[in-house]
Amino acid sequence: MLLMLLPWLVGGVAACAFLPQLPWQDVPSHPLADQHPALRRAFWSELDTPVLQSAPRYTLRFTVDVSRRLITGTASITVTNRTESPWSDVALRLYPNLAHYGGGNSLELLSVTSQGEPLPFASIESGTAALINLPTLLLPQETTSMDIRYRVRYPRHIRDGYWLFGEYKGIVALPLAYPILALPKSDGSWVLSDGIPLGDALSAEAAFYHVWATVPATMTLVSSAVVRATTPHTPTQQITYELVSGPAREFTLLLGNYQYVEQVVNDLRVRVFYLPGDERAAQTALHYALAALGVYQRYFGPYPFVKLDVVEASLLNRGMEYPTLNLLGTYLFREERDKLEFLTAHEIGHQWWYNLVGNDQVGEPWLDEGLTEYSTYFYYEYIYGRDVAERLRKTRWEIPLNYVRSRDLDAPLGLPATAYSLDNYETIVYGKGALFFHTLRLRLGDEMFLKALRQYRERFAYRVATAHDLQQMFESVSNTSLQDVFSEWVYGGY
Beta 220-223 vs 325-329: how paired, if at all?
unpaired
- Measured from the CB atom, the residue of 89 and 368 that comes closer to Zn ion is 368
Per CB under 5 A, contacts with Zn ion among 368-427 are 369, 372
CB of 23 to Zn ion, least distance (A): 42
- Residue 494, class by beta-carbon neighbours within 10 Å (0-12 exposed, 13-18 middle, 19+ buried)? exposed
Q: What x/- string results for residues 443 through 462 when contact with Zn ion is judged by CB under 5 A?
A: --------------------
Residues 6+ apart with CB under 8 A from 476: none
Closer Cβ to Zn ion, 360 or 369, answer by number: 369
Q: Which neighbouring-strand residues pair with 91?
A: 131
Is the CB of 258 or the CB of 425 nearer to Zn ion? 425
Nearest distance in Å: CB 433, Zn ion: 10
Comparing CA positions, the residue from 206, 207, 210, 238 lying closest to residue 223 is 210
Q: Which is nearer to Zn ion, 341 or 369 (CB)?
A: 369
Q: Give me the least distance between CB of 351 and Zn ion, in Å please.
A: 11
Cβ proximity to Zn ion, 163 vs 212, nearer residue: 163
Which residues inside 16-75 make contact with Zn ion, applying CB under 5 A?
none
**Amino acid identity of 265?**
V
Q: With contact defined as beta carbons under 8 Å apart, do 353 and 371 qualify?
A: yes
> How wide is the angle at C-alpha 301 spanned by C-alphas 465 and 489, nearest 5°?
45
Nearer to Zn ion, 73 or 414 (CB): 414
The radius of gyration computed from the CA coordinates of the chain, to the nearest angstrom, equals 22
Are 373 and 427 a contacting pair, CB within 8 Å? no
Q: How far is the CB of 365 from Zn ion (least distance, A)?
A: 9
CB of 266 to Zn ion, least distance (A): 27
Q: How far is the CB of 187 from Zn ion (least distance, A)?
A: 29
Please state the closest distance from residue 367 (CB atom) to Zn ion, in A: 11
| Total interface residues for Zn ion by CB under 5 A | 2
User: Which residues contact residue 281 at a Cβ distance below 8 angstroms, ignoring those fewer than 6 apart?
Assistant: 274, 332, 333, 334, 337, 340
For residue 64, what are the contacts with CB-CB under 8 A and spacing of at least 6? 70, 71, 172, 174, 213, 214, 215, 216, 253, 255
The residues in 315-374 that bind Zn ion, with binding defined as CB under 5 A, are 369, 372
CB of 369 to Zn ion, least distance (A): 5
What does residue 379 show for φ and ψ, rounded to 5 degrees? -60, -55
- By beta-carbon proximity to Zn ion, the closer residue of 224 and 372 is 372
Instruction: Label the pairing between strands 143-153 and 129-138.
Output: unpaired
Nearest to Zn ion of 91, 315 (CB atom): 315
CB of 226 to Zn ion, least distance (A): 24
Residue with Cβ nearer Zn ion (309 or 369): 369
Spatial separation of the C-alpha atoms in residues 308 and 325, rounded to whole Å: 6
What length is written for the chain? 494
In the bound state with Zn ion, the residue whose beta carbon lies nearer, of 240 and 424, is 424
* Percentages of the chain per state (helix, strand, coil), in multiples of 5: 35, 30, 35
- Kindly state the smallest distance separating residue 130's Cβ from Zn ion, in Å: 28
Closest listed residue to residue 455, CA positions, set 378, 347, 357: 357
Task: List contacts with Zn ion (CB under 5 A).
Answer: 369, 372
